[in-house]
Amino acid sequence: MLKAITLYEPWASLMAIGAKRNETRGCRTTHRGDIAIHAAKSEHSFGDLIPYVIKAHLDRDICPATNTLGCIIAVVDLWDVQPAEKFGTIKTSERDFIQLSEEEFLFGNYNGGCGRWIFRTRNLRRLTKPVPTRGYQSIGWTVPPDVEAKVREQLLTITPV
């Protein structure tokens, strides 16, 4: 059974192009392993980020997709969940500190004082054709079997980024 997480755009596409490797949430999850990235059917306001989202696509020579809403667009390996206070952009001598790039920090909510959790991902596999399906608010919802089959069929031909 393939699990999924729904993100608003542009954050789903930022994960699918590798500009955003961490997802920040107000609760943690016990799920580890493959998780599909699903783009919500509605967009979220991100006006201040527009230039940075465009730059992230241009830096990777990837045109922004136009047909991602309500679709699974990538699969990643969710390998770790850590509290947000362990993350930042300024190098420190703290042993457990995880330094982020400015871009990664910009595309997430790393406010550790609010009980935020960081879902760390790797092994990005961007689908060549978005797969439509209904998304859910819960973290790690189960992808319907027919949708999972379409996703897995594409994964056979994709090289991880």
For every residue of the chain, DSSP letters joined together read --EEEEE-TTHHHHHHTTS--EEEESS-----EEEEEEE-SS----GGGHHHHHHHHHHTT-PPPSS-TTEEEEEEEEEEEEEGGGEESS----TT-EE--HHHHHTS---GGGT-EEEEEEEEEEEEEEEE----SSTTEEPPHHHHHHHHHHHTT----
Domains annotated for the chain, with CATH where assigned, are 3-155 (2.30.130.30)
Q: Is the pLDDT of residue 78 over 70?
A: yes
* Mean pLDDT along residues 132-158: 95
Query: Is the entire prediction scored with pTM above 0.75?
Result: yes
The model's confidence at residue 142, banded by pLDDT at 50, 70 and 90, is very high
Confidence of residue 76 (pLDDT cuts 50, 70, 90): very high
Look at residue 94 in the predicted model and tell me its pLDDT. 67
